[in-house]
Structure 1
């Protein structure tokens, strides 16, 4: 059977892209929310890094929960 006709051939690649998108989107979204709240209300400069860290932690938790389920 050739690689192009194997239905599971691209599964690893799509899983990798999904994980990468979670790792990028979480810190960007929560960092952006932290920056907006900090910029318009608090003016402390602390919510952007807190948002990035919270976004990364939540992304990792989501990846573990989604990919640890047995098929």
Structure 2
């Protein structure tokens, strides 16, 4: 398989997994599948990660995400 094909498949897999997280978090239903609202929410998160509270936010979100994954696997 050519290198560009491998990279394309890896990118496609990443996009599918990220979309799955959006669904798993319940955001699609909560936003009534409004793509503009979801995009706005993601831009808000991105702005927070560009700010001074970046490290605090990442620690909190990682902890919360790990707990959710663990609860789901139980």
Normalised by the length of structure 1, the TM-score is 0.33
Higher Rg of the two aligned structures: 1
